[in-house]
Amino acid sequence: MTDIPKSHPRYQSLVLREKLVEGFGSGLVVPQGLIAHGRGEMFDYLIGERTTKEARAASRAAAATILKAKRPVISVNGNVAALCPSEVAELAVAADARIEVGLFHRTDERVRKIQKTLEDHGAEDVLGFLPDAAIPGLDHLRALCSREGIFSADVVLIPLEDGDRAEALAKMGKKTVAIDLNPMSRTSRNSTVSIVDEVTRAIPELRKNVEDLDGDAKGIKNAISSYDRDENLAMVMKAMSERLGKLKER
C-alpha cells in the first residue's frame, strides 16, 4: 500500500482507494468495482464526506428494520469485502444476521476469496459458494443465492448499488436496506430503507444503532415510524444541491 501521510487533506479517501487497489490485486475486486467506487466518491463530495443527519435517521430505521426481522441477511460484494470485512462481521454478530456473498461478476474463485477474507476477519459460516436457489426475475448469475440465506431472508442488507436485485427482492416480498451514496439510484429508490453514506462509515454506524435499539421495542417503533424514505432522499438531494451552490460561490 502506498505510504499516505496522515496530514494529507484527503487521507481517508486515499486509504480507501488503496484498499480497493489491493483488493483488485488479490482478486476480491473487479475493474468495474473501481469505477463504481469513483462514482460514489463524487456523491460523497456532495455530502461533505461525512455522515449526515439524514443518514443517521435512515441508519436508525435500518437498524430497527433489521432487529424486527426473523431472518436478516447481509449481502457482501468484492468492494465491501475489501473495504470493511471486520465491520461486516461485527454487524452480523450484533444483528444475529447471516452473511452471503452476492456478486454480479461471479466466479467460484472470487466467491471463495471473498468468503475467506470475511471469515479471516471474524465472520462465521459465510454463505454463497454453493448456491441452491435463484432470485426470480434476474436473468443473470447475480440471481444465484443460498436457500438458507438471501432466498429465505425477510430483510436483506445491500451495501453498495444493486438496483436490479433491490427491485427483484422487493417483488419477492422482502424488505431491503440499502447503503448507496447515490440518492437517485434504483437501489436507493426501491429499498425499504436507504442510507446515503459511504459504506465504511455506514456499517459501523448501523452496528451502533443495532446495539442501541436491541431490546427497545418503543425505540424500534419510533425509528421506523419517523422515517420516510422518499422524504429522506429528497432532503439528501436538497443538501447536495445547496452544498454544490456554496462551492460554486467560492
- Segment 220-232, tens digit of pLDDT: 999 999 999 999 9
**Count of CB atoms situated within 10 Å of the CB of 17:** 18
Q: Is residue 21 part of a domain?
A: no
**Residues 6 or more apart from 38 whose CB is under 8 A from it?**
none
Question: In which residue are the cell numbers 461486516 written?
Answer: 88
In a domain, 38, yes or no: no
What is the pTM for the complete model shown?
0.92
Instruction: Name residue 76's beta-bridge partners.
Output: 101
Is 109 a domain residue?
yes
**CA atoms of 207 and 164, how far apart (whole Å):** 26
Q: Residue 96, by phi and psi: left (phi above 0), alpha (psi -120 to 50) or beta?
A: left
Cell numbers found for residue 173 = 416480498
Number of H helices, E strands in the chain: 11, 7
Distance, CA of 7 to CA of 25 (rounded, Å): 27
Give the structural domain span for 169. 53-240
Top-confidence residue, 243 or 176: 176
What pLDDT, in 10s, does the model give residues 153-191?
A: 999 999 876 778 888 999 999 999 999 999 999 999 999
Domain membership of residue 117 (yes or no) is yes
Q: For 102-160, give the DSSP string.
A: --SS--HHHHHHHHHHHHHTT--S-B-SS--EE-TT--SGGGEE-TTTGGG-SEEEEES
CATH classification at residue 113: 3.40.50.12640
Residue length, the chain? 250
For 90-124, what is each residue's pLDDT tens digit? 999 999 999 999 988 889 899 999 999 999 999 99
CA-based nearest residue to 79, from 21, 165, 121: 21
In a domain, 192, yes or no: yes
How many folded domains does the chain comprise?
1
Characterize the bridge pairing of strands 98-101 and 72-76. parallel
Helix (H, G, I), strand (E, B) or coil at 76: strand
15 part of a folded domain: no
Q: Three-state SS for 75? A: strand
pLDDT for position 2: 65
Residue 140 lies in a domain: yes
In a domain, 13, yes or no: no
